[in-house]
Amino acid sequence: MNWVSHVILETHNEKVREQVRKFFQESLLNWIELCADHKRLPGCIVRVGRLLDSMEKMRDLVTLPAAGEDIEICGDILSFLRSNQILIQGTPKHVYSSALMFTPRQSSVYRIYEPRYREKLPRMRIGYVEHAQRVITVSGHDINIVCVAISPTGSMFASVGYDRTIILWDTRSWSQLLTITVQVAEGRERCVGITFLPGSHEIVSLWADCIQKHSVETGDVIRIFELSLEVNNISTVAWPSNYKYLAYGAASGNIRLISMDAGDLVGEITAVPEGGITSLSVSPDGSKVASTGRDHSIKVWSLHPDHLSGPDSVCEHTSWVVQGAFLPSGPSLFAFIDGEALHILDMAEKKIVSSYPATAVESLTCSQDGQYISTTQANWGNWHEPSLRLRKLVPGSIGVDFAEVCLDGGSGDVFQSSLFSPDGKSIIAASQGTQIKVQSLDQVDPIEPAKGHVGPVLKLKFSSNRKLLVSASADESVCTWNVEKESLEADRIQVPSIGGSAFAVSSDGSVVACGNEESQIQFWSTKMKKIIGPTIPICNREEHQIVALSFSPNDDALAILGVGSRYDPSTETSEWTALL
């Protein structure tokens, strides 16, 4: 992989560039497989990103023949690697099949290598390939991600997991740069927040009883500040824009201001006398901090070099305020959630100017330009309701209205947090699992009814004429696909329990027979999208489960296979039985 580092310095050399072009066109996939086999793929992706940066800079400095073509190929390679990184790292040989097959056809990688492997590739692909390629998905933690941050320049991203590791990512290639294992006392593993300091050479993380500074270049500890005032009771944190202090909310209801240089307490004030600060937000100019709490209030405080004062403003709400944040689009606008809706509050007028239904929402984040608000909610396996929602703020008749837009890959996952890149071009979301998803904001679309599945595809069946393919998903839906057109033949239909049930397809694909949890057979029309005919009980659900179904060639009969076991208490053994 080291050849890229040498080439970067000489991309203006036409001979070297010819060698690079030849390598990309002849040996790229073999190189990717070799790097993945040796667990060095992330570093290689970083180098391809740096090569692309170097090519773009050289194009601007000198006139190079075919520079545009070289940059296009290198950019397509980087997109190919970013989109398929998890897949290739897990199974390197998938670079020749799954990764290549599901690469957009206009990509240079597909155009160059698909003809060479055509005979070995599947003959068709069905789905929205270009749509899916718009999301970058990476994974590195062994346990759930709890905190995320992005550097002021947007070149690095940090994620913190419950495994006490901080992973630094290169945002051009979305490969891992460094993994830091944080040493904290047992029982104090919860990270409350993390941020990059100006210059992006240090990161600061707040844990249950300490603040730690680490070098982003080596991962070494620079300094640790013990927090003896509040152990394991920090509820929220905010980072003033000058980064000289951090403000955190304590379970006691106090806001505490801590020096980032010495770790000393420099200011403290009681925000919620009954206890329960739910969030803190620093104003865009860094002069104010707003607190929300279980006392149904939103309060604004003044930040001074050595103390806090106020409240300068108090706005009462009708219920518990879960979280809030200043909106950069207006000096007095404040967005907050209360578990039922997303509200925009005009703090000068002390009135809500706009509301949008948002049940079970747990967090919100505002983009730096104030155009977007992202929210996360707990859907826990509800494939039909995306856990991450993005709303664009547009001028309304009263104040501000919302236009909800679609995030690819948002459905089915449960997201812990999200943030926007400093340039406002991307949204980055961390799941409550181990995945991080990145999407460009110039590729988001207005919300439309979902086409195809929104959950994982679990089963596939061809119609007997091989013209249609029927798929069943964990989202309890069935889709019918036209094989020749490689497109959705009809809108999806919701079929309860289809993801875990046997099913069969009639010869023309118009009828789907499936078993349900009660060991009954139901017949669904793919055109009318409803049950047709009676529901037929087949066997005792406690003794048998339907595991396979098949229509006869002329559709006049249905074969059913049920498998189960019967327990004999006299011999204390179970006997497997089959029903046909």
Q: Is residue 448 part of a domain?
A: no
* pLDDT digit string, tens, across residues 184-197: 877 777 888 999 98
pTM of the model: 0.73
Strand partners, 428: 419, 438
Cα distance between residue 477 and residue 493, in whole Å: 5
Burial bucket for residue 578 (CB in 10 Å: 0-12, 13-18, 19+) = exposed
Burial bucket for residue 389 (CB in 10 Å: 0-12, 13-18, 19+) = buried
How many CB atoms lie under 10 A from the CB of residue 18?
A: 12
The pLDDT confidence band at residue 298, using thresholds 50, 70 and 90, is: very high
- Residue 465: pLDDT above 60? yes
The string of DSSP codes covering 75-98 is: HHHHHHHHHHHHHHHH-GGGGTTH
pLDDT the model gives residue 573: 58
Q: Is residue 339 part of a domain?
A: yes
User: What is the arithmetic mean of pLDDT over 322-328?
Assistant: 91
Specify whether 161 is located in the same domain as 225: yes
- Residue 574: pLDDT above 70? no
- Residue 410: pLDDT above 50? no
Q: Is residue 366 part of a domain?
A: no
* pLDDT digit string, tens, across residues 249-278: 887 888 988 888 888 888 888 888 876 889
- Residue 398: pLDDT above 50? no
Cα angle value 331/308/160 (rounded, 5°): 80
Among 313, 344, 360, give the residue marking a domain's end: 360
Whether residue 400 contacts residue 344, with contact meaning beta carbons closer than 8 Å, is answered with yes
pLDDT the model gives residue 267: 86
Specify whether 531 is located in the same domain as 551: yes
Specify whether 112 is located in the same domain as 147: no
Specify whether 124 is located in the same domain as 193: no
Burial bucket for residue 576 (CB in 10 Å: 0-12, 13-18, 19+) = exposed
Across 59-73, 380-394, 451-465, the highest mean pLDDT is recorded for 451-465
What is the average pLDDT score of the chain? 80
* pLDDT digit string, tens, across residues 511-562: 888 887 777 888 888 888 888 888 888 765 555 677 888 888 888 888 888 7
Among residues 406, 398, 392, the alpha carbon closest in space to that of 329 is found at 392
User: What is the arithmetic mean of pLDDT over 199-219?
Assistant: 89
pLDDT over 90 for what percent of the chain?
Answer: 16
Whether residue 344 contacts residue 325, with contact meaning beta carbons closer than 8 Å, is answered with no
Cα distance between residue 279 and residue 341, in whole Å: 17
pLDDT the model gives residue 397: 43
Q: Is residue 280 part of a domain?
A: yes
**Which residues fall within 8 angstroms of residue 3, CB to CB, at 6 or more apart?**
none
User: What is the arithmetic mean of pLDDT over 106-119?
Assistant: 88
Backbone angle region of 350, left / alpha / beta, with phi > 0 → left and psi within -120 to 50 → alpha? left
Specify whether 346 is located in the same domain as 233: yes
Looking at the structure of the chain, the number of domains it has is 3
pLDDT the model gives residue 345: 92
Strand partners, 147: 160
How many CB atoms lie under 10 A from the CB of residue 273?
A: 11
Cα distance between residue 546 and residue 578, in whole Å: 10
User: What is the arithmetic mean of pLDDT over 171-191?
Assistant: 85
Specify whether 219 is located in the same domain as 339: yes
* pLDDT digit string, tens, across residues 16-68: 778 888 888 889 999 999 999 988 888 888 888 888 888 887 777 666 555 78
Q: Is residue 248 part of a domain?
A: yes
Q: Is residue 389 part of a domain?
A: no
- Write down how long the chain is: 580
Phi–psi pair at 573, nearest 5 degrees: -130, 160
**3-state DSSP call for residue 268?**
strand
Specify whether 79 is located in the same domain as 171: no
Among residues 174, 45, 32, the alpha carbon closest in space to that of 93 is found at 32
Which structure tokens are listed for 538?
A: 């087949």
Specify whether 246 is located in the same domain as 155: yes
Find the domain containing 96 and state its range.
Answer: 3-129
Specify whether 32 is located in the same domain as 166: no
The pLDDT confidence band at residue 566, using thresholds 50, 70 and 90, is: low
Q: Is residue 475 part of a domain?
A: yes
Phi–psi pair at 499, nearest 5 degrees: -60, -30
Among 100, 129, 158, give the residue marking a domain's end: 129
* pLDDT digit string, tens, across residues 304-316: 888 889 899 999 9
Q: Is residue 387 part of a domain?
A: no
The pLDDT confidence band at residue 391, using thresholds 50, 70 and 90, is: confident
Among 360, 393, 417, give the residue marking a domain's end: 360
Specify whether 119 is located in the same domain as 172: no
Among residues 472, 465, 474, 541, the alpha carbon closest in space to that of 512 is found at 472
Specify whether 13 is located in the same domain as 124: yes
The string of DSSP codes covering 163-201 is: TSEEEEEETTTTEEEEEEE----TT---EEEEEEPTTSS
Which of 76-90, 113-127, 430-444, 548-562 shows the lowest mean pLDDT across its residues?
113-127
The pLDDT confidence band at residue 473, using thresholds 50, 70 and 90, is: confident
132 vs 345 pLDDT, higher one: 345
- Residue 381: pLDDT above 90? no
CATH of the domain at 498: 2.130.10.10
pLDDT the model gives residue 524: 87
Specify whether 211 is located in the same domain as 311: yes
